[in-house]
Amino acid sequence: MKFQTADWVFFIIYIIGIIGFALYISLKKRDGKETTSSYFMAGKSLPWWIIGGSLIASNISAEQFIGMSGDAFRFGLGIATYEFMAALTLIVVAWFMLPIYLKKGIYTMPQFVEQRYDANVRTGLAIFWLLIFVFVNITSVLYLGALTIENTLGVKMIWGVVGLALYSATFSIFGGLRTVVWTDLIQVFFLVAGGLFTTYFALDAYSGGLGFFEGLGKLYRDVGDRFNMVLFKEEIIYTNDDGGLSDAWEKLPGWSVLIGGMWIANIYYWGTNQYIIQRALAAKSINEARKGIAFAAVMKLILPLIVVIPGIVAYAMKADLAKGDQVYSWVLNEFIGTGFKGICFAAVVAAVGSSISSIVNSASTIFTMDIYRHLGGANKSEDHLVKVGKITAAVALLIGVAIAPQFVALESAFTFIQKYTGFFSPGILVIFLFGMFWKKASAPAAMLVVLLSLPLSIFLDLTFTEIPFMNQMGISFIVLSIVMIVVSMMKNKGDDINAIELEKGIFQTDTTFKVSAMIIFGILTAIYTLMF
């Protein structure tokens, strides 16, 4: 991508503006001081529109812009299942899981686990999350962002990684969650606007200048096979050695995407993942949290236009690329004109920055509140704990910078994230779902699930290589559920001492939320009926 003066001016103004705004929010402390509540939970004062915008900004990152568009190039619209199913999952989480979290008044997911089970289970899951956040999420997002910078501006991978880490540090370290969510609000505008610009120009070019809708129609007519939402093994055409649909079954294995592993991945991500659910935990009230989540669910329905369609356009135009993760850079180079390149490139940087800042903030929250505070920091002052949180955030970023360049050998970073997060997510989800909705679930059973989760996933991956990783997640979830039931029944003849009492009316919702849920369900039904 050759930036012209207008592109550079816009892009530099954007970067300086975001950094300046982040530093302003960081220095504007409530009551002139920081507490763990203000730093890690934004004082539990977030309104719905900030929650919804921040959820999307935290979720949509380089793994979607670069990774998902790359997989769309390789096997089509089916990859959008991650986005569409997320919309429905968000409604389920807001309806049935969020009220329980807010009732407990927690800061972190491990804190909930401690209240429901015990401190050992809390520590085990806290370590799980730190491993996922630092060695999977932060590193892969830094890599994908730096890959785009390298492919578009010619900047070496390592300097792109360092630059993105420093950029993210301005609002992930100094100001805590309050700074993260306020900068997210600005960045979500740019990532959505920039992404839509990219899709518009790509479709307009594909139609020969006849516009967005003609381009979309022509794309569907020319490569209609790439618009199937559910891929079945017997229907997959093996088209080429590197691209095509040759490995689509590994990632999107037919019905099991809709009724198996995809649900595990989504409920884990949206319902138990600290850096996502933390926004809702910081809400003013349950209704504000639910409105924010419903808003995010609506946004998820339009995101495939941004992160999937450009990849299908690249496939239809027979882009000559070494691997899928280069697709988004190719689209920017081919279709975006002067002036708009800066906007579209800023969208990618916004996506990377918002996601990394969210993950780093959550990693520091979990380490500080769930590990350090219980291992010698119990009597430390609020100011001391905040300092530990900032140091932890910096260390997490440094580890990410050291590891990210090694990801260059990956064929698909998006698939890497989904697969290796899936080594942990079935066990975590078993612990949460049984802990919430089954009163006999016991701490010994939960601890055994923690200990078995990783070895079981590795065993399935190494032994049953022909089974898609989504199906492996489903198998792992079933096995670990059986372990939870059997051990808990041996331990508890009646209800567990820490069982959660679900009061009458706890799942009651207002009319706005119910209507939103019905609309989202209706839209998804139409999409899967038409694109099956």
Asked if 353 and 187 touch (Cβ cutoff 8 Å), the reply is: yes
What integer pLDDT is reported at residue 29 of this predicted model?
56
Which candidate, 224, 142, 31, 113, places its Cα nearest to that of 406?
A: 142
What integer pLDDT is reported at residue 413 of this predicted model?
64
SS3 220: helix
Length of the chain, please?
Answer: 532
* pTM given for the model: 0.83
Domains delineated in the chain: 5-105+140-407 (1.20.1730.10)
What integer pLDDT is reported at residue 516 of this predicted model?
92
**What are the phi and psi torsion angles at 395 (to 5°)?**
-65, -40
Which candidate, 71, 153, 77, places its Cα nearest to that of 344?
A: 153
- Convert 58-73 to b/e letters by CB count within 10 Å (16 or more is b): bbbbbbbbbbbbbbbb
What the block records as the tokens of 467 is 């089974």
Asked if 291 and 52 touch (Cβ cutoff 8 Å), the reply is: yes
What integer pLDDT is reported at residue 238 of this predicted model?
47
What integer pLDDT is reported at residue 331 of this predicted model?
86
> Each residue's pLDDT tens digit in the chain (532 positions)?
567 788 888 888 888 888 888 778 777 655 556 655 555 555 567 788 888 888 887 777 766 777 788 888 888 888 888 889 999 999 999 999 999 988 887 777 888 999 999 999 998 888 888 888 888 888 888 888 888 788 777 888 899 999 988 888 876 676 666 677 777 778 778 778 888 888 999 999 999 988 999 999 999 999 888 888 876 665 555 454 444 555 665 667 666 666 777 899 899 989 988 777 877 887 888 888 899 999 999 999 988 888 899 999 999 998 887 766 778 888 887 888 777 778 777 777 777 777 787 788 888 888 888 888 877 656 777 788 888 888 998 999 999 999 988 876 555 666 777 788 889 899 999 999 999 999 999 999 999 999 999 999 999 999 998 888 888 999 999 999 999 999 999 988 899 999 999 888 889 998 989 999 999 999 999 988 887 7
Q: How far apart are CA 299 and CA 364, in angstroms?
A: 28
Asked if 313 and 202 touch (Cβ cutoff 8 Å), the reply is: yes
Ranges of H-type helices in 260-336: 261-272, 274-281, 286-307, 309-316, 327-335
**What are the phi and psi torsion angles at 283 (to 5°)?**
-75, 160
Question: What is the separation of C-alpha 267 from the centre of its chain, rounded to a whole number of angstroms?
Answer: 11
What the block records as the tokens of 452 is 């078995």
What integer pLDDT is reported at residue 227 of this predicted model?
87
Asked if 152 and 1 touch (Cβ cutoff 8 Å), the reply is: yes
Q: How far apart are CA 431 and CA 446, in angstroms?
A: 6
What integer pLDDT is reported at residue 286 of this predicted model?
87
Asked if 420 and 397 touch (Cβ cutoff 8 Å), the reply is: no
What the block records as the tokens of 501 is 């009492």
Calculate Rg over the CA atoms of the chain.
Answer: 22
Torsion, Cα of 401, 406, 409, 410 (10° steps): -50
